[in-house]
Chains A and B, each alone.
Chain A
């Protein structure tokens, strides 16, 4: 599908052009690409926040195209959760609990059910229960991010879009968030994650979409992407640490492929040193 931003005087910009891709449900897919490559536009179309100017999007059994009536878009919003970049900016309610319950209430749940869902989600995210009636604006940055995330997760989406979820978090907060994404994957939720961190791609994603200038430059497994240094360079992407290290070894004449994590890298090197043969 395509999307075009209309400007004044017919000067429009095509943000996303003729992209066609399928993400099987239950997959964690990473969406990567340079700033302005159309990642956010693409994701906003998946949540029907923007309608494609051409083509269509299928989310579960819902189809979105330019003609979809506005009333039906709400069904998509209810199915897809979207955690925007710096989601803590959208907190507004007087207390943490009310903010998290806002989404479930919009889904048509009763006040009681919504509060229950909010409490459970916050508990699952290790949010201290004694702070439930605090103002979300008094919290620390990491806690605010957690509340904002809970606000989306409490709606129990089938598909979750995360736009650079770890931006601006300290290392511990980042690690916690990545664990959370792993947990969501285990629960069978489809996760679409925009990120600039290749190590996150290597660690979490089963599928990776590379966008460049609004076009789909790659769609496949992370291992296949990182095994192609030329492709990475064309799209201004870096390799994950482990792959970068393996590439350096390759230049030195030792080929151990493209291991996606530091532990795999270590195992490969150990095999290389110990067994003296390459099992890739």
Chain B
């Protein structure tokens, strides 16, 4: 598990139409999609959402199998939420009950809605992260937050923090793997033992990991200062975000589909 290179939310390098779109458009559309998911009511609107998602996945040209590996680690969370929903909500016909728990028709209907929302949202955000390199996303966030500068929000610093955090995720994953191996080599048996001993075994991993992270942060801060980093300086960027024709087309489609969505919602 530690060494798995396919992670939830990791970028899949390709040159599909969706990869080429402006990250700002993708980010906003993804947010908007989540909003629509919460508005959806009744089979038609959900069908529309599924169709939109299918369109996005199609444009991403990424194999469905990879999306599946993206969702797999979340199955427990989804399952638990659905189970709680089924067991603890009331209303409608009661099929079975025991103490506080009951299986009701309303509960099952609710659980289906939750399940559908979960899957749609997770998939939509996976489309976003699979087609957009993390640093482009950080650029998009910075660009979209720019108006907040007027309110004295330190947009530059926040953007720098996001990009640094993203940059160090692979480094830290690598480090975890090395530390785990080093402690394994010292005879730690990660494969067996009770829950308590398993948790206790995390100490020889977490302590060096945190010490390393702090040391690295200090080194990085020093290196940035040595190179004259001034957080308040206006920065130019290497990766320019340029709005192009396909972006306008996609935006138009998003607006149209959204309008249709609310029409359907109003008439059902």
- Residues of A near any B CB (own CB < 8 A): 5-9, 44, 47, 49, 70-71, 73-74, 77-78, 80-82, 84, 87, 89-93, 102-103, 106-107, 137, 151-152, 155
Count B-side interface residues using an 8 Å CB cutoff. Answer: 25
Task: Give the distance in Å from the alpha carbon of A198 to the alpha carbon of B185 in the complex.
Answer: 27
Minimal Cβ-Cβ distance residue in A for B7: A8
Residues of B close to A6: CB separation below 8 A: 5
Q: Smallest distance from the beta carbon of B30 to chain A beta carbons, Å?
A: 21
Would A107 and B187 count as touching, CB distance under 8 A? yes
Would B182 and A84 count as touching, CB distance under 8 A? yes
Would B179 and A89 count as touching, CB distance under 8 A? yes
Would B187 and A103 count as touching, CB distance under 8 A? yes
B192 at the interface (CB under 8 A from A): yes
Residues of B close to A91: CB separation below 8 A: 208
Minimal Cβ-Cβ distance residue in A for B69: A8
Minimal Cβ-Cβ distance residue in B for A86: B178
Would A8 and B208 count as touching, CB distance under 8 A? no
Q: Smallest distance from the beta carbon of A49 to chain B beta carbons, Å?
A: 5
Which among A70, A74, A84 is the interface contact of B187 at CB below 8 angstroms? A74
Would A8 and B185 count as touching, CB distance under 8 A? no
Q: Smallest distance from the beta carbon of B113 to chain A beta carbons, Å?
A: 32
Question: What are 15 A-to-B residue pairs whose CB atoms are below 8 Å?
Answer: A47-B185, A49-B181, A70-B191, A71-B191, A73-B191, A74-B191, A82-B182, A82-B185, A84-B178, A90-B186, A92-B208, A107-B187, A137-B211, A151-B186, A155-B186
Residues of B close to A103: CB separation below 8 A: 186-187
Q: Smallest distance from the beta carbon of B203 to chain A beta carbons, Å?
A: 7
B218 at the interface (CB under 8 A from A): no
Would A78 and B182 count as touching, CB distance under 8 A? no
Residues of A close to B183: CB separation below 8 A: 90
